[in-house]
Amino acid sequence: MAEDQPKAKISRSKFIAIGVSVAAIIGVLVVFGMSSGGEFSLIPQEHSEQIVKGIIRINPGTYQYYQLIVPSGATDARIEGTFTASGGSGNDILVMLFPEDGFVNWKYGYNADNFYFSGKVIAGQVGAVVPSGEKVYLVFDNSFSLISSKTVNTDIKLIYFK
C-alpha cells in the first residue's frame, strides 16, 4: 500500500511574499509606463510642440530667434515644418537651426555648427534631428537686407517620443 504523499501547502508568509512581489512588479510597470497625460502605456507616445506658427516680420538688418529645450529623455526628437518669405527684391530669408554653442558663435560672427541651414531662399522645409535635453535655436535671418523687411509665413514644430 502506498503512503499518502503530504500535500503541498503554501505557508501564510510565502503567500504574503508572493503577493507583495506581484504588487511591486505592477507598481513598477505603472510608474515607468505612465505617459505625460496620465495614461498607462509601455509604448512611447508621440508629442508635438508648436515652436512658431503664423506670420512673423523680420526688420532689415536683423534676425529673430526662438529658443526651445528638447525634453530630457525624449527620443527621435526632430524639428519639422515649412516657411515662405516675402518682401524686398528677392522675397528671401535665411533659416537656421543651431545648438546653443553654435548660436552663440554665429551671433558673434564665428563659424558655427548647425542642425539646419536653408541658404537664402523664398520657401523651404525644415527637417532636422535634435538631441534630447539640449537648448536649440531656430533663427530667421534678414541681416543681409539693408532696406527691406521680410514677412515669413511659418509652421514649425518640435516632435518627439517619450
Same domain, 52 and 38: no
**Per the structure block, which three cell numbers stand in for 145?**
537686407
Same domain, 54 and 80: yes
Same domain, 66 and 36: no
CA torsion angle 72 51 135 95 (round to 10): 140
Which strands make up the sheet holding 150-161, listed edge to edge?
46-58, 150-161, 75-86, 123-129
Same domain, 16 and 34: yes
Alpha-carbon distances of 111 from 15, 130, 161, rounded to whole Å: 67, 19, 32
Same domain, 35 and 97: no
Same domain, 58 and 102: yes
Same domain, 27 and 73: no
Average pLDDT over residues 114-121: 98
pLDDT exceeds 70 at position 150:
yes
Query: How many domains, in total, are found in the chain?
Result: 2
**Domain extent at residue 23:** 10-42
CATH number at residue 54: 2.60.120.680
pLDDT exceeds 80 at position 21:
no
Tens digits of residue pLDDT in 36-77:
445 556 789 999 999 999 999 999 999 999 999 999 999 999
Task: Give 154 or 7, the one with higher predicted confidence.
Answer: 154
Q: Is residue 51 part of a domain?
A: yes
Q: Which helix (H) or strand (E) holds 95?
A: strand 94-99
Per-residue burial over 101-111, b if 16 or more Cβ lie within 10 Å, else e, is ebbebbeeeee
